[in-house]
Amino acid sequence: MVSESQSRRRVLGGLVAAGGALAVGTAATPASAASGPRPTVVLVHGVFADASGWNEVSGRLLKAGYDVIAPANPLRDLAGDAAYVSSVVATFPGPVILVGHSYGGEVITNAALANPNVKALVYVAAFAPDQGETALELAGRFPGSQLPPALVTRPYPIPGSSEPGTDGYIDPAKFHDVFAQDLPRSLTRVMAVSQRPGSVLGLSSPSGVPAWQSLPSWYVVAGADRVIPPAVQRFMAERAGSRVVEVKGASHVVMMSRPDTVVRQIEAAYRATR
């Protein structure tokens, strides 16, 4: 006859054995085993914005299981901005997908080459310059930008220089209509007063050897962009050989107004390069 204490020991032993089998089964089949580790997605913002512009995209990527970082782009000069983003990318040992919006596209174009773990580039209403081109030059290559008459400039000190630099802001009264006409005015009023300026030095610096010559790229064209005309975006995307999705009616901040489309392009880049 089995005693009560023996019965308890058998039950406990069975539970331990079952738990061990479950743990072994879970460890043997991790979620990423079939496809390898998911990349870290590095989201680089442009001028007149900050990393919070990626919030809707970041939330969706995190929910889908990606590691995500949206660093603060310094927005001082192209070489320095690209070096900073490159240093962030270098801290990740695994694969990386670099995503750039607006001037952030120029930054990733220059930052990617120093990091062999970058597997793909995703441009979101962004500059994808060739060597020697500048953001200011590209923005005016085709007509349609409403940005120049909306700019307000302010000087800022440059350490070690007797000459100040020049920052460009969008006039808050024109911010909604020029930068983000498909977002609520209640939101763009807040964006306008917290906007990060872009230095003329950075926007007028010639770009280096473009990473899109050696890396696959994807592009989201904002079909109603009033900062970088859609014709300019199409030109750059075609030249880079990018896989293109165009969003009709989307403003320059397409990652805020149409985050699902942006996420789908990032996921397409992951599937094609894993």
One-letter amino acid identity for 99? V
pLDDT surpasses 70 at 3: no
Confidence of residue 110 (pLDDT cuts 50, 70, 90): very high
Per-residue pLDDT of 71-103, as tens digits, reads 999 999 999 999 999 999 999 999 999 999 999
Give the residue, 219 or 1, on which the prediction is more confident: 219
When pLDDT is averaged across residues 227-233 and rounded to a whole number, the result is 98
Per-residue pLDDT of 16-63, as tens digits, reads 333 333 333 323 323 343 456 789 999 999 999 999 999 999 999 999
pLDDT surpasses 50 at 4: no
When pLDDT is averaged across residues 256-271 and rounded to a whole number, the result is 98
Per-residue pLDDT of 129-140, as tens digits, reads 999 999 999 999
Q: What is the pLDDT of residue 38?
A: 87
Q: What is the pLDDT of residue 28?
A: 31
Q: What is the pLDDT of residue 27?
A: 31
C-alpha 262 chain-centroid distance? 9
Nearest by Cα to 99 from 227, 224, 268, 247: 268
Q: What is the pLDDT of residue 36?
A: 65
Per-residue pLDDT of 142-191, as tens digits, reads 999 999 999 999 999 999 999 999 999 999 999 999 999 999 999 999 99
For every residue of the chain, DSSP letters joined together read ---HHHHHHHHHHHHHHHHHHHHHHHHHS-TTTTT-PPPEEEEE--TT--GGGGHHHHHHHHHTT-EEE------S-HHHHHHHHHHHHTT--S-EEEEEEEHHHHHHHHHGGG-TTEEEEEEEEE--PPTT--HHHHHTSSS----GGGEEEEEE--TT-SS-EEEEEE-HHHHHHHH-TTS-HHHHHHHHHTPPPEEHHHHTSPP-S-GGGTS-EEEEEETT-SSS-HHHHHHHHHHHT-EEEEETT--TTHHHH-HHHHHHHHHHHHHHH-
Q: What is the pLDDT of residue 37?
A: 76
Rounded to whole angstroms, the Cα distance separating 88 from 146 reads 33
